[in-house]
Chain A
Amino acid sequence: MVPEATFTSYYGRPVLKAPSWHPADIAGYLFLGGLAGGSSIVAAGADLTGRPGLARTTRVGALGAVTLSGLALVHDLGRPSRFVNMLRVIKLTSPMSVGSWILTAYAPLAAGAAGSDVLGRWPRTGRLLGLGAAVLAPALVSYTAVLICDTAVPAWHEAYPDMPFVFVGSSAASAAGLGLLTAPAQAEPCRRLAMFGGLLEIGASRRIVHRTSFVAEAYRLGRARTLLRAAEGLTGFGIVGGLLGRRRHWLSRLAGLALLAGGACERFGLFEAGMISATDPKYVVVPQRRADLH
Chain B
Amino acid sequence: MIEDNSLFGPVDAAPNAGDVAPPARVGFFTDTSVCIGCKACEVACKEWNGIPEDGINLLGSSYDNTGALGASTWRHVAFIEQTRPRPDDGHEQVRWLMSSDVCKHCTHAACLDVCPTGALFRTEFGTVVVQDDVCNGCGYCIPACPFGVIDQRKGPAGDRNVGLAQKCTLCYDRLLDDATPACATACPTESIQFGELDELRVRAARRLEALQNAGRSEARLYGEDPNDGVGGSGSMFLLLDEPEVYGLPPDPVVTTRDVMAMWRRAALAGGALVAGAVICFLGGQP
Contact = CB atoms under 8 A, between A and B. Distances in A.
Interface of A: 7-11, 13-21, 41-42, 45-46, 48-49, 76-80, 82-83, 85-86, 88-89, 91-97, 100, 138-139, 141-143, 145-147, 149-153, 157, 160-161, 163-165, 167-169, 171-172, 188-190, 192-193, 196-197, 200, 274, 278, 281, 284-285, 288-289, 291-292
Contact of B116 (A86, A149, A291): A86
6 contacts: A10-B247, A76-B138, A89-B117, A145-B269, A165-B265, A172-B277
Interface of A is mostly: helix
Contact of A89 (B118, B149, B242): B118
B266 A164 contact: yes
Interface in B124-166: 134-140, 142-153, 162-165
Contact of B280 (A20, A139, A160, A189): A189
A88 B251 contact: no
A19 B67 contact: no
Contacts of A157: 255, 258
A168 B259 contact: no
Contacts of B268: 164
A165 B273 CA distance: 9
B22 interface: no
Contacts of B250: 285, 288-289, 292
Contacts of A167: 269
Contact of A88 (B134, B140, B281): B134
User: Which 9 A-B pairs give the minimum distances between C-beta atoms?
Assistant: A78-B137, A78-B163, A10-B247, A138-B270, A164-B269, A82-B136, A97-B116, A45-B281, A96-B116
A196 B278 CA distance: 11
Contacts of A288: 249-252
A141 B270 contact: yes
B164 A171 contact: no
Given A8-B244, A85-B119, A93 B145 contact: no
A17 B151 contact: yes
B205 interface: no
A289 B262 CA distance: 24
B266 A145 contact: yes
B283 interface: yes
A205 B280 CA distance: 22
Interface string B207-231: 0000000000000000000000000
Given A93-B256, A95-B259, 15 more contacts: A15-B247, A17-B150, A19-B142, A19-B143, A20-B139, A41-B273, A45-B280, A77-B137, A86-B136, A94-B115, A151-B255, A192-B279, A197-B276, A288-B249, A289-B244
Contacts of B68: 13-14
Nearest to B152: A20
Interface string B189-203: 000000000000000
A257 to B, nearest CB: 20
Contacts of B148: 14-17
A162 B115 CA distance: 24
B255 A88 contact: no
Given A17-B145, A152-B143, A45 B277 contact: yes
A160 B262 contact: yes
A78 B280 contact: no
Contact of B247 (A13, A79, A82): A13
B114 A143 contact: no
A1 B195 CA distance: 48
A37 B197 CA distance: 48
B271 to A, nearest CB: 7
Contacts of A8: 242, 244-245
Nearest to B273: A168
A138 B273 contact: yes
A150 B281 CA distance: 33
A83 B134 CA distance: 10
A152 B270 CA distance: 24
A171 B274 CA distance: 12
B58 interface: no
B284 A94 contact: no
